[in-house]
A and B are shown apart, each in its own frame.
Chain A
Amino acid sequence: MMNLADSAPVTNNLLGSEADSQRTLYPYVTGTSVIGIKYKDGILFAADMGGSYGSTLRYKSVERLKSVGKHSVIGASGEISDFQEIMRYLDELILYDNMWDDGNSVGPKEVHNYLTRVMYNRRNKFNPLWNSLVLGGIKNGQKYLGTVSMIGVNYVDDHVATGFGNHLARPILRDEWHENLTYEEGVKLLEKCMRVLLYRDRSAVNKLQIAKITDEGFTLSEPYSLKTFWDFNAFKNPTLGAEGSW
């Protein structure tokens, strides 16, 4: 884990002085996992509202799920300032698309492709946007769900996640996801994944939002918290009968 106590930028002889060029070398304020799944009417996303500063859980009301135009939702993990910059790029993309005033609108596939180009090109210049993004949406009944990383790796799937979500949530989704989940089933499934992340991801924070996108539009839930379960016999007195052990 990086030590992010306010230390001065270091000179690395191999890469030249950091101050020379514009290159993001380490993240400061970061968001953790995002999970996205396809369901019957569209796409569901979940992300917590944490902004970590190294090991400190510094910000607890960061919205990491945003709508993009009429048809898409983006979820970001990684450096929040870079996500805010990506949102500026996307808002510009949508604006220019609207200015054509031609009845067409940018869909999730186009946004995903655009983001992939942006992320990959920045990676090639050794100045990445330090994010892993989940991009999903629905246009004319066609559902779309994909992901892009800070090095430009991109793919589509029925369920995607970033960070810890890949290791903890996707195995659950591989087992329990199926085509035509109802909204309620989808939300419960996401909550099951988010609860596991809360137990096992140190940077998780118990305040989350669920975003939904359907042909009707985009909704973002009010922030809420999940109940957690600690009432297991095995937890109550783990060293009983073996004092001094752990």
Chain B
Amino acid sequence: MDSIYNDLNAPHSMGTTIIGVTYDGGVVLGADSRTSTGMYVANRASDKITQLTDNVYICRSGSAADSQVLSDYVRYYLHQHTIQLGQPATVKVAANLVRMVSYNNKNMLQTGLIVGGWDKHEGGKIYGIPLGGTLLEQPFTIGGSGSSYLYGFFDQVWKEGMTQDEAEKLVVKAVSLAIARDGASGGVVRTVTINKDGVSRKFFPGNTLPLWHEELEAKDSLLDGLSAASPEPMVS
């Protein structure tokens, strides 16, 4: 049996569940908050939805270090681009920059990303950039190890033109389902909603999430709700 101490030096990986969906008027990005080093949860409240510009955010999965440094590079490029352009960068440009870094360093990077945002030319857009650096514009996309458990779910419930409320509820439900089954995903559910009116961050701690199969309502203690004495031994 391997010593657990090996794991503490293992690279930080965000097993992760990340989601991006478009709705009528914008996009909703969602993620779990678990960062693990091997079997140890190094950070149980990470923020995997990172800002690139005022109107474009990125969901990060895979290697924590790789996704952070890639985001830093792209934020830097976008900052310069915005100055030179004189107006906010489009989501498409942001996504293409992420693709460029991802593709040109494909042998070294191990991170799957979702870029989502809103701009005045195209409205809300979601781009998936999996391992290898393929760029795909999609109405919605899922990523990270937890996403394996969500393909069937989305096949069934996805529909175009949802309202903001429907889209947010869908994302929260989906991340919560993935957390239930993926050991590498956990913690809280974070969402970021982006539309013409700006950006809105939301936070859903475990106790606000629905309970799934074989999960029980959380209690403070066994001793809760026990009125007087301990239960009598059963007599047949």
A→B interface (CB under 8 Å): 6, 8-9, 18-19, 21-25, 27-29, 51, 53, 56, 58-59, 61-62, 79-81, 84-85
How distant is the Cα of A5 from the Cα of B106 in the complex, in angstroms? 16
Q: Are B132 and A9 within 8 A (Cβ)?
A: no
User: What B residues does A81 contact at CB under 8 A?
Assistant: 99, 103, 106, 132-135
B108 at interface, CB cutoff 8 A: yes
* B145 to A, closest residue via Cβ: A6
Q: Do residues A6 and B107 form an inter-chain contact, with CB atoms below 8 A?
A: no
Contact code string B133-147 (vs A, CB < 8 Å = 1, else 0): 111101000000100
Q: How far is the CB of A176 from chain B (nearest CB, A)?
A: 35
Query: Can you add 20 more A-B contacts, CB < 8 Å, to A22-B107, A79-B134, A84-B135?
Result: A6-B110, A6-B131, A8-B11, A19-B108, A24-B107, A25-B107, A27-B132, A28-B132, A29-B132, A29-B134, A51-B136, A53-B130, A56-B151, A59-B136, A62-B136, A79-B132, A80-B132, A81-B106, A81-B134, A85-B103
- List CB contacts (< 8 Å) of B95-120 with chain A: 99, 103, 106-108, 110, 112
A84 cross-chain contacts in B, Cβ below 8 A: 99, 103, 134-135
B60-109 residues with Cβ-Cβ distance < 8 A to A are 62, 99, 103, 106-108
What are the nearest 4 A-B pairs in CB distance?
A: A28-B132, A81-B134, A81-B133, A80-B134
CB-defined A-B contacts under 8 Å, sample of 23: A6-B62, A6-B145, A9-B107, A18-B107, A21-B107, A22-B107, A24-B107, A27-B132, A28-B131, A29-B130, A51-B134, A56-B148, A56-B151, A59-B136, A61-B138, A62-B136, A79-B134, A80-B136, A81-B99, A81-B134, A84-B103, A84-B134, A84-B135
Which residues of chain A come closer than 8 Å to B145, judged between CB atoms? 6
A27→B99 CA distance, assembly (Å):
16
Interfacial chain B residues near A28, Cβ < 8 Å: 130-132, 134
Considering the chains assembled together, what is the distance between the CA atoms of A62 and B99 in angstroms? 16
B111 (CB) vs chain A CBs: closest residue: A6
Of chain B, the residue at the smallest CB distance from A9 is B107
Distance in Å: Cβ of A147 to nearest Cβ of chain B:
22
B103 touches A23 (CB 8 A): no
Least CB distance, A195 to chain B, in whole angstroms: 23
Interface string of B42-69 (1 = CB under 8 A from A): 0000000000000000000010000000
> In the complex, are the beta carbons of A8 and B103 less than 8 A apart?
no
| CB of A49, distance to nearest CB on chain B (Å) | 11
Query: Chain A's nearest CB lies how many Å from the CB of B234?
Result: 47
In the complex, chain B residues whose CB is within 8 Å of the CB of A25: 107
Describe B's contact surface by its main secondary structure: loop
- Closest Cβ of chain B to A17, distance in Å, is 10
> How far is B106's CA from A80's CA once the two chains are assembled, in angstroms?
13
Residues of B with C-beta under 8 A to A62: 136
Considering the complex, give the chain A residue whose CB is closest to the CB of B128. Answer: A59
B184-217 to A contact mask, C-beta < 8 Å, 1/0: 0000000000000000000000000000000000
A19 to B107, Cβ gap below 8 A?
Answer: yes
Instruction: List A contacts of B136 (CB < 8 A).
Output: 51, 59, 62, 80
The residue on B at minimum CB distance from A127 is B107
Please, which residues of chain B bring their CB within 8 A of the CB of A18? Answer: 107
Complex Cα spacing A27 to B173, Å: 32
Chain B: minimal CB distance from A87 (Å): 11
Q: Which of these, A24, A53, A58, A61, contacts B106 with CB under 8 Å?
A: A24
Contacts of B62 in A (CB 8 A): 6
Per the bound structure, the CA–CA distance linking A18 and B109 in Å amounts to 11
User: Is A9 touching B110 in the complex (CB atoms < 8 A)?
Assistant: yes
Q: B134 to chain A: which residues have CB within 8 Å? A: 28-29, 51, 79-81, 84
> Among the interface residues A6, A56, A59, which one has the most CB atoms of the partner chain B within 10 A?
A6
Collect the chain B residues with CB atoms within 8 Å of residue A22's CB: 107
